[in-house]
Structure 1
Amino acid sequence: MTPPPPFLLNLLDAGSQPVISTVVERVVGYPNWLYKLIGHPVTWMGKLINLMDERMNTMAHVKSLSRLNGILAVLLLCTGVWIAATAINAVCNLIPYGWALSALLASSLIAQKSLRDHVRDVNVALSSSLAAGRIAVANIVGRDTRGLGVSDVVKAALESLAENTADGVVAPVFWYCVGTLTIGGLPAIAIYKAINTADSMIGHKTPQYLHFGWAAARLDDLVNLPASRLTALLFVAAALFSGKDQAVKAARITWRDARRHRSPNAGWPEAAMAGALNMRFGGPRTYGGEFVKLPYMGDGRDHFLRQDIETGLKLYDRAMLVMFVLLVLFAFAV
């Protein structure tokens, strides 16, 4: 029997796992039947976070003790996830083709397909009615969606697409690659997802979580720092498909506007997408009834049409293609 070509053998090692995970997740995603059967790793992490919130978030009125409990909760969460993921990874390493099983498990922690599907659902819903569009976009944004017009719904969907590309796709893939060179790919991506989930659940500036969620929020900012910049570069590279001038403009807008955002990370992918699409993101909106005025990013048009969602998804697809090429290069390098 003829042995596989050397280049195929090179892809079937640890460095190939991010490639396999990304392809599997993009094509298959996380099946609904599996979610109904056993849930999802993020929901399992969420249950642990809820448990610690109930048991440890009891000193919200005392800053020092609440922060200390929050730090301890994050440490316990990351340690527990690391132990579980490392044990699973060790078992995978003991069985034939275990690297493929490990890659398959890790694919559940990447949201490439689900993000695209949720954003596209907004477009489909808007084709039915504005009310349906508001309901669909409420699934992917934290802002209040009541009273939003078509343009506002589309802008919210595109901003969410930009931001979630960073923390839902690029960041887990980035830490997966880092993990393959250090502690193992599966443990690394699992720890990132745990931190990101903790931030989404307790990293709020409300009286209940202002101090208890401080560690989760700050750690999430830190681990998303490299991926947010990398995502901006991916959008700039994707803009090259529309010509060099468009990519240059996207890069200029990113450099000029990204740091205006109140988040240390969200502004980078949002500014890059705004520049690549000749649009303007940001501006006033409400969160939980509280009026917030965010700085504008980009100098393009600020009136959006339903069809702009498909334009944004096309840019997203091109950015994901660039990421895939980089992952293949990483596999060969490793």
Structure 2
Amino acid sequence: MTFPPALLDVFSQPAISVAVERFIGYPNWLYRLIGHPVTWMGALITYMDEKMNTTAHVKSLSRLNGVLAMLLLCACVWFAATAIEVICRAIPYGFVISAVIATSLIAQKSLRDHVRDVARGLSSSLTEGRAAVAQIVGRDTRGLNVSDVVKAALESLAENTADGIVAPVFWYCVGCLTIGGLPALALYKAINTADSMIGHKTPQYLHFGWAAARTDDLVNLPASRLTALLFILASLFSGKDRALKAARLTWRDARRHRSPNAGWPEAAMAGALGFKFGGPRTYGGEFVKLPYMGDGRDNFLRQDIDAGLKLFDRAMWIMFGLTVAFALIL
């Protein structure tokens, strides 16, 4: 069997990684054995937080330390990923090895499994559903009813599709054209991990985490819009009118969100499925009221998770097709 030459070079790496990660994911036995690249990055971030975040009361100095921490994190991650990339390029078909390594930084299977666990938990009891959704959301879950749990799961599915899947794959493709696929992917993941750990608007991290939060906003700008487009295209399977409505609601509602990026995939999914996302919730005991996105129903059923996952699967197939096109064209 012969393959097009374009599929046998580095430009095929994103397609290989997406396909392998979709069906295999990151094995539990490997996690138990060596941990996970994100946990390694997290350990470095924690170390720098302990050593460098000591001047939270001094805005300028704290911000400077935060910038230096991000530069150090990115330098370490870039060096390690580039070393792996260089080694892989030096051996026959090493690009396949590099692509398999890259699967650890894409969360397609993991995200789908976690959202599916919420539906399974709700099939047993509300308590199990709350416990499952608590694994993927930051809001307080103890007082959520079934509708709240389902909405939280779907909102998380939408947002995490952008920063856990589409953004890594996007920067992976950009890296294949520039500094190398694996280094670019790893750099994105380091920035995103730093934002999740220190990019909070609390007294401790308001200034130290400023660089992490702003950098994460920047690198997620393209992928958040691309994710919205993927959901809109996926909704075409439900008819042109549904897709047009999803596009209209996305354009209307996406910028209402307090995040410059999260509103795009959430508004697109809400419009595509005929739901209404947003509204009141609590984080760490603090009441927050987010603007609504979409104009559909806001009384959610357990079965709505199935509809969300169906849209997600279609969007992921479209993304996979784009990565194959990327390999063939380049």
Range class of TM-score, shorter chain = over 0.9
Residue 2 of structure 2 corresponds to 4
Cα offsets for 1:166-201 (capped at 9, x unmatched): 000000000000000000000000000000000000
Identify which of 277, 294, 297 aligns with 1:298. 294
CA–CA separation in structure 2 for the residues paired with 1:59 and 1:304: 45
Q: Secondary structure in 2 aligned to 1:4?
A: coil
Residue 48 of structure 2 corresponds to 52
1:305 CA drift (Å) = 0.2
1:10 CA drift (Å) = 1.8
Cα offsets for 1:140-182 (capped at 9, x unmatched): 0000001100000000000000000000000000000000000
Q: Unaligned 5+ residue runs, structure 2?
A: none
1:61-210 pair list within 5 angstroms = 61-210=57-206
Q: Unaligned 5+ residue runs, structure 1?
A: none
CA–CA separation in structure 2 for the residues paired with 1:170 and 1:249: 23
1:274 CA drift (Å) = 0.1
Identify which of 281, 284, 308 aligns with 1:288. 284
1:93 CA drift (Å) = 0.7
Paired residue type of 2:212: A
Report how many aligned residue pairs link the two structures.
330
Residue 29 of structure 2 corresponds to 33
Q: Secondary structure in 1 aligned to 2:105?
A: coil
**Dislocated runs of 4+, deviation >6 Å:** none
Paired residue type of 2:256: R
Paired residue type of 2:150: V
Cα offsets for 1:15-49 (capped at 9, x unmatched): 10000000000010000000000000000000000
Residue 274 of structure 2 corresponds to 278
1:333 CA drift (Å) = 1.2
CA–CA separation in structure 2 for the residues paired with 1:229 and 1:54: 35
CA–CA separation in structure 1 for the residues paired with 2:93 and 2:325: 22
CA–CA separation in structure 1 for the residues paired with 2:108 and 2:51: 34
Q: Secondary structure in 1 aligned to 2:144?
A: coil
Q: Could you state the TM-score of these two structures normalised by the residue count of structure 1?
A: 0.98
Paired residue type of 1:4: T
CA–CA separation in structure 2 for the residues paired with 1:11 and 1:92: 16
CA–CA separation in structure 1 for the residues paired with 2:317 and 2:24: 17
Determine if contact 2:6/2:329 at 8 Å carries over to the other structure.
no
Cα offsets for 1:269-288 (capped at 9, x unmatched): 00000000000000000000
CA–CA separation in structure 1 for the residues paired with 2:321 and 2:91: 29
CA–CA separation in structure 2 for the residues paired with 1:238 and 1:93: 36
CA–CA separation in structure 1 for the residues paired with 2:20 and 2:2: 22
Provide the alpha-carbon RMSD of the alignment.
0.6
Residue 257 of structure 2 corresponds to 261
CA–CA separation in structure 2 for the residues paired with 1:270 and 1:42: 25
CA–CA separation in structure 2 for the residues paired with 1:33 and 1:329: 33
1:97 CA drift (Å) = 1.0
1:118 CA drift (Å) = 0.2
CA–CA separation in structure 2 for the residues paired with 1:10 and 1:201: 39
Paired residue type of 1:52: M
Q: Could you state the TM-score of these two structures normalised by the residue count of structure 2?
A: 0.99
CA–CA separation in structure 1 for the residues paired with 2:323 and 2:91: 25
Cα offsets for 1:61-83 (capped at 9, x unmatched): 10000000000000000011000
CA–CA separation in structure 1 for the residues paired with 2:2 and 2:159: 40
Residue 313 of structure 2 corresponds to 317
Cα offsets for 1:280-314 (capped at 9, x unmatched): 00000000011100000000000000000011000
CA–CA separation in structure 2 for the residues paired with 1:325 and 1:92: 25
Residue 43 of structure 1 corresponds to 39
Residue 245 of structure 1 corresponds to 241
